[in-house]
Amino acid sequence: MSIKETALPKVQTKLFINGKWIDGDSKEVKDIINPATGEVIAKIAQAGPGETKQAIKAAKDAFPDWANMELAERVKILHKIADLMEQKADKLAKIMTLEQGKPLKESKGEVLTGVENFRFAAEEARRLYGETIPAPNNHAFIVKKQPIGVVAAITPWNFPGGMVTRKIAPALATGNTVILKPSGDTPLSALAIFEIFEEAGLPKGVANIVMGSSKEIGETLTDSDDVRKLTFTGSTKVGQSLFKQSAGTLKKISLELGGHAPFIVFADANLEQATSDLVAAKFRNNGQVCVSPNRIFVAKEIKEAFTKLLITKVEKLKVGNGLDDVNIGPLIREDAMDKIDQQLKNAKDKGAKVLTGGGRLTGSDYDKGNFYQPTVLDEVTREMDIFYEETFGPVIPLINFETEDEAIELANDSEFGLASYFYTKDLARVEKVSSALEYGMVGANEIAISNPETPFGGVKHSGFGRENGHFGMEEYIDVKFINLKYRD
């Protein structure tokens, strides 16, 4: 592969506040590392409390005009953003792969999902209907939906484009203004999207982006009374901290936090479908997905056949630089590999067996990046850390069960409640199990649980609030009641 093919496309590296690209006051920069090669691919300007306050003021000042803009004009701008993203999809995908590591095909898919996020939000904005409620004579009870105001969005590194569009598209569509704080590991995709905002004619101050210390920026956003909504995707620990910090200003909050998804395979399941779906879902983005299957419960009577088929498919996967023709890219950082090493050691010490994989990939170009073998781990029990801890890596832990009720109990034995999956041909079981699983999303014979039209979110320690669909739009509005008296 030539240097030209691996070079980072031209993209901004500065803060974007009130319609201008600026350096941080400190002039400090942060290196952005390609996780496949260990190379520095960009140096990003850093903001502190001062620049964050500037962004808040810019968003506050821009809010009245944006909120009161004719809906048709606002929709037109959002469609322009979607069109430009689609036109620049190859460039955006390459930027994403270089900074995050995922295979180029996955990056392209994420970009195109972002396009759909903007298109859906633009059209759904036309359907934010109010209500009239039956009222006494000479009165009208009117319910209006209005934008909240300034929205702070904090996004993670694992989907550096998709999470940005999932939050910003509905926020803008409903008439709010935004300050984005992207992950410090993968800000380039967000910056490239903000370049598109500028090109599409988004008015100054409507969308602002600041990179820098998560603690300093987070505290500035949560302490501000001018920020009326906080949306965050990331770890449960950080989400809990932001929740506490926001208490003083009583912000509206939505939190999409950790997950530890069960994947149940009943004895009557289609094993070809179940194994193919498991491999696709587990190894997407190298397992660095909040809805990734992390605990695989397999009916005892089909365990041998299921495992044999699964290993055959796992061992065909190709790991490497996401710019090459591979199925799996690198993990984001070396500490991600450290965590997997620790989980596997703990499990093996307590009796688990590695059926394939089980370690870091070394030699040749693997030594330059964060590459790990796709791994299948058998005879996993509740005594092992991996049963309760989110892995965020390419490991499939297999766990036996004998009865339907046991499978449900095992699946629900988690503090998390984001995504869950199960496979069966029994429609009565589909109804029972989908109702019994304590998760915000359930895939029954299906792994596609994230769509622009459908609600995405969890329960328990996986957070609250929903993204996508009209449910996600509602997160960015206030409901106002008006009691109108016509005459005395």
User: Is 256 annotated in the active site?
Assistant: yes
Q: Which residues contact 286 (CB under 8 A, 6 or more apart)?
A: 101, 102, 328, 329, 330, 331, 372, 393, 394
Instruction: Determine phi and psi for 174, rounding to 5 degrees.
Output: -90, 5
Backbone region of residue 286 per phi and psi (left: phi > 0; alpha: psi in -120 to 50; beta: other values): left
Contact call for residues 385 and 257 (beta carbons, < 8 A): no
Q: Can you give the C-alpha Rg of the chain in angstroms?
A: 23
* Count of other CB atoms within 10 angstroms of residue 394: 25
Q: Could you give the CA distance from residue 148 to residue 146 in angstroms, rounded to a whole number? A: 6
Helix (H, G, I), strand (E, B) or coil at 308: helix
Q: Which of 99, 290, 390, 475 is catalytic?
A: 290
Q: Which of 256, 390, 467, 475 is catalytic?
A: 256
What the block records as the tokens of 202 is 């988004």
Q: Could you give the CA distance from residue 376 to residue 391 in angstroms, rounded to a whole number? A: 13
Q: Could you give the CA distance from residue 167 to residue 133 in angstroms, rounded to a whole number? A: 31
* Count of other CB atoms within 10 angstroms of residue 70: 8
Helix (H, G, I), strand (E, B) or coil at 91: helix
The angle at the Cα of 399, spanning 341 to 353, to the nearest 5 degrees, equals: 45
Provide the annotated active-site residues: 256, 290
